[in-house]
Each structure stands twice: as structure tokens, then as C-alpha cells.
Amino acid sequence: MTDPNDVAAASASSAPVLVAIDGPAGSGKSSVSKQVARRLDYGYLDTGAAYRALAWLALERGVDTADEQAVRGVADDFDYAISLDPGDYWVRVGVTDVTDAIREPRVTDAVSGVARVRPVRESVNRLFRVLVAESGRRGVVVEGRDITTVVAPDAPVRVLLTAAPEVRAARRSREITTQDAAAVADALHRRDAADSTVVDFLTAADGVSVVDSTDLDFERTVEAVIDVVTVSLGTPQTGAPDGR
């Protein structure tokens, strides 16, 4: 078991340390990454929120997210802000708080159409790097779809968080109570299929550690990721507090 304080202390002189976490939908990236950030006293950057917010904006403007040129037009006027505080998470487009709105099914269905536009990805990736650099944090946990290979390929800690498809579908079903399990599983499969045409988030690149949470509960998954951070940064492993 790892003491998060050891990890945080070891990284204090080289801020911001990046912990890059990739994984498919339903793998637990967001909740696990946020808790890891809390435990290590790091910032937390949900990269998927940017694509969701852009999809939300496109829908609000009546733009067809299958129209690449139209999506690029929306991206050119994308006033985006996000909190990197894992204890006070919010997302805004202009002055509008869209933290909850970007999780609506209609936005989820539109995200892949936005994320597949390569110039948009390049622009958003530059934004991510600026957010991390200007965070003022000694470390930031960055999670998404191509973090270990495109956004932060040189991060000292790179993790692919995954789980069996049926487990991911079951977890997502528990999160989305307005749809039946079959519909959620189908949506998850379709999103994975669409996004995999743009980035490979199912295969670990060289140097990326795999954490398979199929048989792990939430706390054990968090601890497994913190263990990877500890080993990657070369910090000592000692008895960990309960993290509460």
C-alpha cells in the first residue's frame, strides 16, 4: 500500500507532474482519476469535458455535429473554462455553467462527431497543455482518450485504465438511470467504435502501465493507480492512510 503523502512530497520540486490516464467509456476514468488527484493533492483535468462542452454548444446553436466545417466554425468561437480542483469541479461555456448539461444523453450522442474532427482535437489538445502549465499545481491527473499518446506522451506516469466490456456497460448503466441496460451497453459500444477511428484507447502504448479494474472495486482501483504513480516516480512505498 502506498502513502499518497510520499508521492506528493517527492513531486513538489518538479511541478506540475503529469499523471496521464487513458481508457474506454465506463472504465471509471473520471471517478478514479478525481479520487487519485484528491489523494495526491494534485489537480484534475477531465479532457472529455471539453469535447462534451463543444458538442453542447453546437447543439445549442443548431449545428449538425456530423458537418465537419460547421463544427470547426463553432470551435473557433468556443469560450471554455474548467476547474482543475477535484473538490470543486465545474465546466463553463462563456458565463453558462454546463457541468450537468454536458452529461445529458443528447450531448453524449453528439460527442464523437465533434471529437473526430482533427483540427478541433489539435486545438483542444493545445488548450489542455496550457491549462496544465498554468494550473499552479505540483501535479495534475489528466484523463481522457489519447492522453498517454498525444496530449502527454512524455508524462512520467502513464496509465491505461480498462475493464471487460460487460463490466464497463454494467457500471455505466448504474450511472445512467434513465435508460435500460441494453440501451446503455449499445450506446457505449457505438461510442467506443466511433472514437476508436480517431484514437487508440484500448491498447497500451510502450511504457504505459495497464490497470484492469474488471475484478477491482473502486477503492482498490484507486490504490492500484496510486501504486503505479509511486513506482513511476520512484517514491517509497509505505503504509497508506485510509484516504478519507
Q: Is 139 annotated as a binding residue?
A: no
Q: Is 30 annotated as a binding residue?
A: yes
Going by their DSSP bridges, the two strands 139-144 and 17-22 should be labelled as parallel
Alpha-carbon gap, residue 81 to 134, rounded angstroms: 13
Q: Residues, the chain, total?
A: 244
Q: Helix-strand-coil percent breakdown of the chain, rounded to 5? A: 50, 15, 35
Q: Is 48 annotated as a binding residue?
A: no
Q: Is 23 annotated as a binding residue?
A: yes
Q: Is 34 annotated as a binding residue?
A: no
Going by their DSSP bridges, the two strands 209-212 and 157-162 should be labelled as parallel
Alpha-carbon gap, residue 35 to 31, rounded angstroms: 6
Report yes or no: 36 and 219 within 8 Å, Cβ to Cβ.
no
Alpha-carbon gap, residue 130 to 71, rounded angstroms: 22
Q: Is 209 annotated as a binding residue?
A: no
Alpha-carbon gap, residue 23 to 159, rounded angstroms: 8
Alpha-carbon gap, residue 33 to 54, rounded angstroms: 22
The grid coordinates of residue 68 equal: 465537419
Q: Is 31 annotated as a binding residue?
A: yes
Alpha-carbon gap, residue 151 to 47, rounded angstroms: 10
Indicate the annotated binding residues for ATP. Answer: 23-31
Indicate the annotated binding residues. Answer: 23-31
